[in-house]
């Protein structure tokens, strides 16, 4: 008889203490690659969320009273704690989310550590200004102050790094946080919270409440005890968050579909490899993924052939195996959306050149083979929506004007890419593309932690900017002070 190992049960972290849900209910953390239950987690209620908000309200006064250098040191200590536990963090991340341990999970841990380190440094140089005025006896200057208590809701695709984009900036600027991570990747959130406690961050400065976003997330967004909201996720959910948080400052990083324009003068080897990286990193589960590949007829054939070659090099399999370069999708709705978008494109006349679909023989129905679609109509669902899976849809544009028109179609406008050797053409596209970021001769997935990241106005890709000091500016109030010297 095989002895069953008892599963660990984890609670919420409220006011610096681990506590169970007030309902006593839990939910399972499940490995998407195997279906194995990894642990049990507290299923949060509205009352749990309210307790966390109360703890954050107490903590915000202490945080605001700390010096900039004190808060900088707190961020540095969290980075050091994560460094001590980085192997455990990477393994938990791979098991919980499904991304390959050796090629992606370890890298995400390193980026997350860097995020805390950069927060520690950026806050020390977040300067404000003295403003010249007409009145000779007046002196006017500005300071930045924390907003108070932040409601933070984070997604499952980068469940370690994305939270730190908010948590690091919040702690550095003196905001307290109530954090609700995605339910399907809450185990790695618990492990991050353990590092935060080990770093001796003040109790209540960061509170973790696991459980459904429709309950916990909704409560922390709408509750008058939170002063501002940070959210990364789909455009549809972002609209709901904005409505529930009416009147509060919002920092929303929402969906994208990464229009990638490959012009006829591009370095094709660079363009193909970079675009494939944009399509297949994290099994395509990236808000900046290259989900529309717009090409000139002159280079269509070699681009498609190159994408086929890159897709065939991918090794789909056990995320813990060294040879694996792509793991499973994180959840069933994402796989179902892949099926739906591929079927719609084929019904509209697209050609399937690399057959995708589920690969349950690998141990889970969430394994999904890389897919290349050719001659996709510009009005197909895969062209206009966020697919969020391992897909490379190729669209033909006759000239630069048509390529720009197709790239600007739809309601999303997060990141785009253009491949060309012409500086003139690069500038022409960069100034006209309706995305918050335009990467020239690199993947839509290129980003560094200090670069401003967010969507274009008039699109449904978010409000505000994440990244380094830009997040800190979003998460603080700019106060103007005038002094009369008479």
Residues 306-348 have pLDDT tens digits of 999 999 999 999 999 999 999 999 999 999 999 999 999 999 9
Q: Give the residue-averaged pLDDT of 193-218.
A: 98
At residue 3, the pLDDT reads 42
Is 349 exposed, middle or buried, given 0-12, 13-18 or 19+ CB atoms closer than 10 A? exposed
157 has a pLDDT exceeding 50? yes
d(CA 82, CA 192): 8
2 has a pLDDT exceeding 50? no
Q: String of b and e for 69-89 (b: at least 16 CB within 10 Å)? A: eebbebbbbbbebbeebbeeb
At residue 353, the pLDDT reads 95
Q: Give the residue-averaged pLDDT of 407-432.
A: 98
d(CA 70, CA 58): 18
Least confident of 4-8, 269-273, 386-390, 422-426: 4-8
Q: How confident is the model at residue 349 (pLDDT cuts 50, 70, 90)?
A: very high
Share of the chain above pLDDT 70, in %: 99
At residue 4, the pLDDT reads 46
d(CA 230, CA 465): 11
Residue 178 in contact with residue 226, Cβ under 8 Å? yes
Q: Give the residue-averaged pLDDT of 179-184.
A: 98
Residues 279-295 have pLDDT tens digits of 999 999 999 999 999 99
Residue 213 in contact with residue 39, Cβ under 8 Å? no
Contacts of 305 (CB under 8 A, 6+ apart): none
Residues 250-266 have pLDDT tens digits of 999 999 999 999 999 99
In three-state form (DSSP H/G/I as H, E/B as E, the rest C), the secondary structure along the chain is CCCCCCCCEECEEECCEEECCCCCCEEEEECCCCCCEEEEEECCCHHHHHHHHHHHHHHHHHHHHCCHHHHHHHHHHHHHHHHHCHHHHHHHHHHHHCCCHHHHHHHHHHHHHHHHHHHHHHHHHCCCCEECCCCCCEEEEEEEEECCEEEEEECCCCCCHHHHHHHHHHHHHCCEEEEEECHHHHHHHHHHHHHHHHCCCCCCCEEECCCCHHHHHHHHHHCCCCCEEEEECCHHHHHHHHHHCCCCCEEEECCCCCEEEECCCCCHHHHHHHHHHHHHHHHHCCCCCCCEEEECHHHHHHHHHHHHHHHHHCCECCCCCCCCCECCCCCHHHHHHHHHHHHHHHHCCCEEEECCEECHHHCCCCCEECEEEECCCCCCHHHHCCCCCCEEEEEECCCHHHHHHHHCCCCCCCEEEEECCCHHHHHHHHHHCCCCEEEECCCCCCCCCCCCECCCCCCCCEECCECHHHHHHHCEEEEEEEEECC
Q: Give the residue-averaged pLDDT of 481-485.
A: 97
Q: Give the residue-averaged pLDDT of 430-439.
A: 98
Q: Give the residue-averaged pLDDT of 347-373.
A: 94
Torsion of CA 418, 422, 424, 428, to 10 degrees: -20
Q: How confident is the model at residue 5 (pLDDT cuts 50, 70, 90)?
A: low
Q: How far is CA 46 from the centre of its chain?
A: 25
204: alpha, beta or left, given left = phi > 0 and alpha = psi -120 to 50?
Answer: left
Contacts of 214 (CB under 8 A, 6+ apart): none
Ordered structural domains, the chain, with CATH: 9-254+465-479 (3.40.605.10), 259-449 (3.40.309.10)
Residue 399 in contact with residue 392, Cβ under 8 Å? no
At residue 355, the pLDDT reads 76
357 has a pLDDT exceeding 90? no
Positions annotated as catalytic residues are 253, 287
Global confidence as pTM: 0.97
């Amino acid at each position: 008889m095989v002895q069953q190992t008892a599963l660990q049960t984890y609670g919420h972290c409220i006011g610096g203490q681990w506590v169970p849900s007030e309902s006593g209910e839990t939910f399972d953390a499940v490995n998407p690659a195997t279906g194995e239950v990894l642990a049990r987690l507290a299923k949060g209620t509205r009352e749990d969320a309210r307790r966390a908000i109360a703890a954050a309200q107490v903590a915000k006064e202490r945080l605001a009273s700390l010096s900039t250098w004190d808060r900088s040191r707190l961020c540095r200590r969290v980075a050091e704690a994560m460094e001590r536990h980085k192997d455990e963090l990477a393994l938990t991340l791979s098991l919980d989310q499904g991304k390959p341990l050796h090629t992606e999970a370890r890298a995400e841990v390193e980026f997350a550590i860097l995020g805390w380190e950069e927060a520690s440094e950026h806050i020390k140089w977040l300067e404000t200004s003295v403003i010249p005025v007409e009145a000779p006896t007046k002196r006017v200057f500005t300071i930045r102050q924390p907003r108070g208590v932040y409601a933070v809701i984070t997604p499952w695709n980068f469940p370690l790094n994305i939270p730190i984009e908010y948590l690091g900036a919040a702690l550095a600027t003196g905001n307290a946080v109530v954090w609700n991570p995605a339910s399907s990747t809450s185990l790695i959130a618990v492990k991050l919270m353990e590092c935060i406690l080990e770093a001796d961050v003040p109790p209540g400065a960061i509170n973790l409440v696991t459980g459904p976003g429709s309950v916990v997330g909704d409560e922390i967004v709408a509750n008058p005890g939170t002063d501002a909201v940070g959210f990364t996720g789909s455009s549809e959910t972002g609209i709901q968050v904005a409505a529930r948080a009416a009147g509060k400052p919002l920092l929303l990083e929402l969906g994208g579909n990464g229009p990638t324009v490959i012009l006829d003068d591009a370095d094709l080897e660079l363009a193909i490899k970079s675009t494939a990286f944009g399509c297949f990193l994290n099994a395509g589960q990236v808000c900046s993924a290259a989900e529309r590949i717009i090409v000139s007829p002159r280079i269509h054939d070699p681009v498609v052939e190159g994408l086929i070659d890159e897709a065939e090099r991918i090794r789909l399999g056990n995320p813990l195996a060294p040879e694996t370069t792509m793991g499973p999708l994180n959840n069933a709705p994402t796989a179902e959306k892949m099926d739906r978008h591929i079927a719609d494109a084929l019904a509209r006349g697209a050609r399937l050149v690399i057959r995708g679909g589920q690969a349950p023989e690998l141990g889970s129905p969430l394994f999904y083979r890389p897919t290349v679609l050719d001659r996709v109509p510009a009005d197909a669902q895969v062209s206009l929506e966020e697919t969020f899976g391992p897909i490379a849809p190729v669209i033909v544009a006759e000239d630069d004007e048509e390529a720009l028109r197709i790239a600007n179609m739809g309601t999303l406008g997060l990141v785009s890419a253009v491949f060309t050797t012409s500086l003139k053409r690069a500038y022409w596209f960069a100034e006209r593309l309706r995305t918050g970021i335009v990467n020239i001769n690199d993947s839509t997935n290129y980003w560094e932690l200090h670069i401003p990241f967010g969507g274009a106005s008039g699109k449904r890709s978010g409000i505000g900017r994440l990244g380094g000091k830009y997040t800190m500016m979003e998460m603080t109030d700019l106060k103007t002070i005038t002094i009369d010297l008479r």
